[in-house]
Amino acid sequence: MAAISYGLENNVFVVTGGTRGIGLTLAKMLLEQNAKVVICGRKQAGLDQAVAVLKGEGNLLALPAHIAKAEDVDSLFDQTLQTFGRLDGLVNNVGMNIITSVVDADPSLWQKIIDSNLNGTFLCSRRAGQIMREQKFGKIVSVSSLAARRSSPAMGIYGIAKAAIEMMTKVLAQELALFNIQVNAVAPTMVRTQFSQPFWSNEDLYAQIVKTIPLGRIAEPEDVAHPILFLLSAAANFITGQTVMVDGGASAI
């Protein structure tokens, strides 16, 4: 694909969970747009590896943070402002799943999945929303999933959390609209990352999955990153409270 300019030069973006997968690809594409990027993850080794791959130099900050911990989130945004002086966008990219049914889940397992997916998205959106409200500009994009709309036996709690993130998107869009802040989400089908590797790396499972996707393949991280870049750009200034399906047509059939 020919390079697309999204007009994001010198803009500052926090991408949670940018050490691998969709977040890492998005961070790379933001740096290629000459934006400034802050990524976070829980593991220092992942952060070090991402820094080596991204080669962002003065435009990249890689910080350890568990997004379900309020003190980590405060520090993430404080360091972003100290280093880059403003916040143009937040991408709530972190997501995780632990395979379980809902009915048999221990409450501590429920809490763990809800913490990283939903509570973390709340804590980051809350802090970013406060900063952006002062500035009177900003964009928040969250990464949901097709699992928010389709029940899946192994991903029930995750899907419940993602459905709540889509509602949070609408609520925040309304709360922040008058401050020139747009809040949206993207909802991908399966994406070729470590997260879903057990599914797409199995030939039989892959064949079954692509039968449900009209475009006949799963998504690559770039397929998800491009709509996020659009939603972060001025081209999307009149779009808010929406979840864009990035699913190869899966939800259309």
Supply the angle between the helices 156-176 and 107-114 in degrees, to the nearest 10: 40
Whole-angstrom distance, CA of residue 12 vs CA of residue 148: 29
The interface with ligand NAP within residues 75-104 (CB under 6 A) comprises 93-96
The interface with ligand NAP within residues 22-61 (CB under 6 A) comprises 22-23, 40-43, 46
Contact window for ligand NAP (CB under 6 A) among 62-70, 77-85, 130-138, 201-209 = 62-70
Q: Measured between alpha carbons, how far is residue 203 from residues 153, 196, 198 in Å?
A: 20, 13, 10
The interface with ligand NAP within residues 175-234 (CB under 6 A) comprises 188, 190-191, 193-196
Q: How far is the CB of 46 from ligand NAP (least distance, A)?
A: 4
Q: Which of 240, 239, 218 is nearest to 146 (CA)?
A: 218
Q: For residues 51 and 179, which CB has a smaller minimum distance to ligand NAP in the complex?
A: 51
Q: How far is the CB of 186 from ligand NAP (least distance, A)?
A: 9
Of 30, 67, 128, 164, the residue at the interface with ligand NAP (CB under 6 A) is 67
The interface with ligand NAP within residues 94-153 (CB under 6 A) comprises 94-96, 116, 120, 143, 145
Q: How far is the CB of 183 from ligand NAP (least distance, A)?
A: 16
Q: Which pair of tokens denotes residue 117?
A: 């997916």
Whole-angstrom distance, CA of residue 139 vs CA of residue 131: 11
Q: Measured between alpha carbons, how far is residue 135 from residues 77, 81, 176 in Å?
A: 14, 12, 12
How many residues touch ligand NAP under the rule CB under 6 A: the total is 31
The residues that are catalytic are 158
Backbone angles phi, psi at 154, to 5 degrees: -90, -5
Q: For residues 40 and 173, which CB has a smaller minimum distance to ligand NAP in the complex?
A: 40
Query: Should residue 66 be labelled a site residue for ligand NAP when binding is judged by CB under 6 A?
Result: yes
Q: For residues 155 and 236, which CB has a smaller minimum distance to ligand NAP in the complex?
A: 155
Residues that bind ligand NAP (CB under 6 A): 16-17, 19-23, 40-43, 46, 65-68, 93-96, 116, 120, 143, 145, 188, 190-191, 193-196
